[in-house]
Copies of this chain bind each other. A is one copy, B any other.
């Protein structure tokens, strides 16, 4: 919902926090974390740098707000759909975050650093709730809920962040360079490592070259879920 509020031709209809955050996300998407500047933001909003400070305390708060907006959108799935099994629901939430990070690569750093810089903020509970809601139905005893959910969230954020960085690298290599060429160049580098120090890494270079990000990501989720089923954690 809400796709209007398109900035019209020339002057804006008054500044708003929501509009500022929206413009900030666009700048971040377009030019990465370095692209978000109060001056660039002001120009895009046809105002002066100082004006933004009336709606937002500082750059940190702006980044937090941008993060929250994007995460909220990613987790806003239809509530009364066909429910699906708990595992499927967790996969849906995880993939939602995975896709959001792929679409907004700056999210990865934001989630891993600033997210828990203020866990009382809205982002952490949002993610925690979406994942954890499914955990009781997995057969985990109540005193293992926190541990289980934490493990899932940690894996999701770690893996999604890693993949975002990979995508960003591929793009940064050059305009025409795709994931395939990028992975191939990394695999070549791995194969050139010292055989005495890096036997394992060399041995899996081919698997790196051929892997699919999403498949890999889901396989990891399944791994954690398999562990939950095999040995449900309890808080002893």
Q: Which of A's residues lie within 8 Å of B, judged by CB?
A: 108-109, 112-120, 125, 128-129, 132-133, 135-136, 142-143, 145-151, 153-159, 161-162, 165-166, 168-169, 172, 185-186, 189-190, 193, 197-201, 203-204, 207-208, 211, 216, 219-220, 222-231, 233, 235
Contacts and interface: CB of A to CB of B under 8 A. Distances in A.
A159 B165 contact: no
B161 A113 contact: yes
Number of copies: 2
A226 B220 contact: no
A100 B156 CA distance: 21
Contacts of A193: 125
A151 B219 contact: yes
B201 A132 contact: yes
Given A132-B201, A156-B158, A223 B219 contact: no
Contacts of A156: 158
Contact of A145 (B172, B207, B220): B207
30 contacts: A108-B113, A112-B112, A112-B161, A115-B165, A116-B165, A120-B186, A125-B193, A125-B201, A128-B200, A132-B201, A132-B204, A135-B200, A142-B203, A145-B200, A145-B204, A147-B207, A148-B223, A149-B200, A150-B216, A150-B220, A151-B155, A154-B220, A155-B155, A157-B162, A211-B235, A222-B231, A223-B224, A224-B227, A227-B227, A230-B230
